[in-house]
Amino acid sequence: MTAAGAGSPGFDWEALRVVARDAMSRAYSPYSGYPVGCAAVVDDGRTVSGCNVENASYGLGLCAECGLVSQLQNTGGGRLTHFTCVDGQGEILVPCGRCRQLLFEFGGPELLLETPAGVLPLSEMLPQAFGPGHLAQ
């Protein structure tokens, strides 16, 4: 599936990957040796990014998506519309399950994710997601 087929005609995924690769270059991954960077476009046109930050206490490491969402909130909030993530070689990487849930909170089911299989809405990557609406019931 192409970006146009996923409801984003003309979207420049390569430009977004450049931002993700730049973020990846600042990752702190001395334990795993697996740097990750991600970038997303916000509904107001801003671009936010993040990188993974490991910790000697392995469970305290932060995924790149955590940094991205922190930057999103720190720069005015909004909704994520397009998202990509790359590994240490700059290749497209899919977010883990925890991070898909985090992205759902800030982009919703219609957030477009660039994946090795093409551009997919988050609803296909995290079907039947639990979200803020469930807490209001």
Which tokens in the block code for residue 82? 């397009």
Check 14, 54, 65, 91 and give the catalytic one.
65
65 is catalytic: yes
- Burial label for 80, CB within 10 Å (0-12, 13-18, 19+), is buried
Q: Where are the alpha helices (DSSP H) in 2-92?
A: 13-24, 64-74
Contact (CB, 8 A) for 124 and 103: no
Taking alpha carbons only, the member of 5, 16, 14 closest to residue 81 is 16
C-alpha span between 137 and 126 (Å, rounded): 21
Please list, in sequence order, all residues whose beta carbon lies within 8 angstroms of the beta carbon of residue 9, skipping any fewer than 6 positions away. Answer: 3
Annotated catalytic residues are 65
